[in-house]
Amino acid sequence: MKSYIHLSYFCVLLAKINIITAQKYDCGYCQPEQVHIAFGSKSNDIVVTWTTFNDTHESRVQYGAGALDEEASGGRSRFVDGGRLRRSMWIHRVTLADLRYDTKYVYHAGSVYGWSEKFSFKTPPRGDQWLVRAAIYGDMGNKNAHSLSYLQDEAERGHFDVILHVGDFAYDMDTDNALVGDEFMRQIQPLAALVPYMTCPGNHEAAYNFSNYRSRFSMPGPYESMFYSFDLGPVHFVSISTEYYYFLEFGLKMLSTQFQWLDRDLREANKPENRARHPWIILYGHRPMYCSNSDDIDCSVEYTRKGLPLFGAFSLEPLLQQYGVDVVIWAHEHSYERTWPLYDSKVYNGSVDQPYRNPGAPVHIVTGSAGCQEETNKFKPAPAEWSAFRNSDYGYTRFLAPNHTHIYFEQVDVEKGGEVIDSVWVVKDAHRPYNI
Ligand SMILES: [Fe+2]
């Protein structure tokens, strides 16, 4: 009798375990996808982000230098798209903190229900005395992504330490109940799972108050990827949302918050001890302050440059002068344009022979020709005097920051098989506010 009771108890226990197990494995769509990485709060923290369509109840990354012998856990949040079907998915985020510098890591992301394929990335070297290499572009969609194969090729060959995607993704991430967003994130995975993919929002992300953008990316800081900064080698990168100036229906609060944050961030970056280590300040946002395209009004309304209509509130160009921002990068126009050093529509070249050596104002670069279904934008026949070079072919920008005095930009034309059609060195003996 006693053994019968024991047996019954054991069977009940087994049944319970089976029930629990059955519940735990009730995870229909739990294979990780859309894996991408970004820098965390410092350059040896890497945040891994991915998507599953059901809740996996855990978010884990197994990783290591050579073997998957370490593990980190994180969290997940349910994202519900604002479209008619209210499609939902789970976005997982895990921070790999305090990684060894200048080290190749392998990783996979997932849970007991499924792991991604194995990816690798290399952490940057320690400190500021090393060559930063970046790809920079905006306006890349699912369809007609001309530059994507070149970018993937270069990313897989280890050519980039960081990628900056300066707004406008997928066209649009919310389209077709966010299926287009899923497809885009799959499409960039071969780059974005290998190289920190740093972003800013563009006008194409505006639906449901930028919810797809805010949910799918994981930029540093507390502002849901809308604005942030990070240091890499000798560069202090600053990312802003120009879209706060144009989608006022979402309110002024975040515009005001961003403006105050930007003022603080740039002031901090200019403290002697910070500017000594990261002397180059490069700011990027989606809609340009200057452009000479034929079909666009955004550069002529000048909300970001001069501030909001009537009151001129939150005007950004004075901050560029006040805090000695070296280069500003934009997209939105589906073309490439480089300006002379420029402030308030006036040119401040360093000298006649060397316009970019110790320039008297920031240099602006518009690079929004990576490729999307809206094709490229043409230019006005006669540009203003501040326009130094412009081209409407599909392509992307390469950036090098070798040291404290020199940085380099070049434009890759993918319609010409990857030919470099423009290049410029910006040289500065000292970094300080402009004397304008
Ligand atoms: Fe745009």
pLDDT in tens, 183-198: 999 999 999 999 999 9
Kindly indicate the confidence band of residue 27, based on its pLDDT and cuts at 50, 70 and 90. Answer: confident
Q: How many angstroms does the Cα of residue 374 sit away from the middle of ligand 1?
A: 10
Regarding whether 252 and 317 lie in a shared domain, the answer is yes
In a domain, 436, yes or no: no
Q: What CATH number is associated with residue 85?
A: 2.60.40.380
In a domain, 302, yes or no: yes
Higher-confidence residue: 22 or 142?
A: 142
Q: How many angstroms does the Cα of residue 64 sit away from the middle of ligand 1?
A: 38
Q: What is the pLDDT of residues 84-109, one digit of tens each?
A: 999 999 999 999 999 999 999 999 99
* pLDDT at residue 228 greater than cutoff 90: yes
> For 215-224, what is the mean pLDDT?
98
Regarding whether 114 and 228 lie in a shared domain, the answer is no
* pLDDT at residue 274 greater than cutoff 90: yes
396: its two tokens: 């992307």
* pLDDT at residue 211 greater than cutoff 90: yes
Kindly indicate the confidence band of residue 302, based on its pLDDT and cuts at 50, 70 and 90. Answer: confident
pLDDT of residue 299: 79
In a domain, 16, yes or no: no
Regarding whether 379 and 295 lie in a shared domain, the answer is yes
Q: How many angstroms does the Cα of residue 205 sit away from the middle of ligand 1?
A: 9
Tell me which of 75, 94, 122 is where a domain ends: 122
Closest to 29 (Cα-Cα) out of 90, 73, 104 = 90
Distance CA 147, CA 151 (A): 6
Regarding whether 147 and 71 lie in a shared domain, the answer is no
Regarding whether 313 and 417 lie in a shared domain, the answer is yes
In a domain, 106, yes or no: yes
**CA–CA distance from 195 to each of 36, 119, 187, 381, 427 (Å)?**
8, 10, 14, 38, 27
Residues 6+ apart with CB under 8 A from 229: 220, 221, 236, 237, 238, 239, 265, 269
pLDDT of residue 24: 57
* pLDDT at residue 403 greater than cutoff 60: yes
How high is the mean pLDDT of the chain?
94
pLDDT of residue 1: 45
Kindly indicate the confidence band of residue 296, based on its pLDDT and cuts at 50, 70 and 90. Answer: low
Regarding whether 216 and 104 lie in a shared domain, the answer is no
Regarding whether 83 and 174 lie in a shared domain, the answer is no
Query: Domain residues for 52?
Result: 33-122
Q: What CATH number is associated with residue 413?
A: 3.60.21.10
pLDDT of residue 19: 43
Regarding whether 163 and 114 lie in a shared domain, the answer is no
Regarding whether 93 and 140 lie in a shared domain, the answer is no
pLDDT of residue 210: 98
Q: How many angstroms does the Cα of residue 166 sit away from the middle of ligand 1?
A: 9
In a domain, 235, yes or no: yes
Kindly indicate the confidence band of residue 6, based on its pLDDT and cuts at 50, 70 and 90. Answer: low
179: its two tokens: 């299926």
In a domain, 102, yes or no: yes
pLDDT of residue 7: 47
Kindly indicate the confidence band of residue 17, based on its pLDDT and cuts at 50, 70 and 90. Answer: very low
Tell me which of 95, 122, 149 is where a domain ends: 122
> For 246-275, what is the mean pLDDT?
97
Q: How many angstroms does the Cα of residue 29 sit away from the middle of ligand 1?
A: 33
pLDDT of residue 301: 78
Residue with tokens 């550069």: 299
Q: How many angstroms does the Cα of residue 201 sit away from the middle of ligand 1?
A: 9
In a domain, 237, yes or no: yes
Q: How many angstroms does the Cα of residue 354 sit away from the middle of ligand 1?
A: 33
In a domain, 142, yes or no: yes
Regarding whether 165 and 57 lie in a shared domain, the answer is no
Angle at Cα 173 formed by Cα 167 and Cα 178, nearest 5°?
165
Kindly indicate the confidence band of residue 300, based on its pLDDT and cuts at 50, 70 and 90. Answer: confident
Q: How many angstroms does the Cα of residue 122 sit away from the middle of ligand 1?
A: 31
Q: How many angstroms does the Cα of residue 49 sit away from the middle of ligand 1?
A: 24
Tell me which of 92, 122, 152 is where a domain ends: 122
* pLDDT at residue 14 greater than cutoff 70: no
- The total of structural domains in the chain comes to 2
The pLDDT > 90 percentage for the chain reads 90
What's the pTM value of the predicted model, to 2 decimals?
A: 0.94
Q: How many angstroms does the Cα of residue 204 sit away from the middle of ligand 1?
A: 6
> For 133-144, what is the mean pLDDT?
98
> For 27-55, what is the mean pLDDT?
97
Regarding whether 209 and 118 lie in a shared domain, the answer is no
- Bridge partners (DSSP) of residue 412 are 396, 420
Backbone angles phi, psi at 111, to 5 degrees: -160, -175
Q: What is the pLDDT of residues 303-362, one digit of tens each?
A: 999 999 878 999 999 999 999 999 999 999 999 999 999 999 999 999 999 999 999 999
250: its two tokens: 């979402």
pLDDT of residue 171: 97
Q: How many angstroms does the Cα of residue 27 sit away from the middle of ligand 1?
A: 38
Regarding whether 47 and 177 lie in a shared domain, the answer is no
**CA–CA distance from 294 to each of 286, 299, 351 (Å)?**
18, 10, 30
